[in-house]
Amino acid sequence: MRAIVKILRFMLKVLLMPVQALLTLLFMAVHYLSGILIFVCSVVGLICILGGVVDLLSAAPSGIALQVIIGGVIIAAVPRAISYWGENGIAMVKVVIKMI
């Protein structure tokens, strides 16, 4: 009985090797693309935050400055969080497959 289980487990490991390779490629692609997206969104968020600060410091503030600052923080933070969750999700799937 144990020999059959070992043979089936070995066959399953062999069948899951391409899945591991695809997950590794997906992880690298997500990491690369998220790096570009994070950089772009950080620059846009920084511009929004600086615009909000300049509006707060101006002689006649428009009242939208705090909304612009909060929006800039959200624009800068959300892509970073999504990429973090995505990369960790792929890594957890790889760990589960490796445990088989």
pLDDT at 13 (0 to 100): 87
Looking at residue 22, its pLDDT comes to: 92
Residue 47: predicted pLDDT: 96
- 3-class DSSP assignment, residue 100: coil
Nearest partner of 72 among 50, 39, 54, judged by Cα = 50
- Model pLDDT for residues 25-63, shown as the tens digit of each residue: 999 999 999 999 999 999 999 999 999 999 988 877 787
- Per the structure, the count of domains in the chain is 1
* pLDDT tens per residue across span 73-83: 999 999 999 99
Residue for token pair 């511009």: 47
Predicted model pTM: 0.75
Note whether 100 and 8 are within 8 A (CB).
Answer: no
Q: Which domain holds residue 77?
A: 2-99
CB 93 within 8 Å of CB 26: no
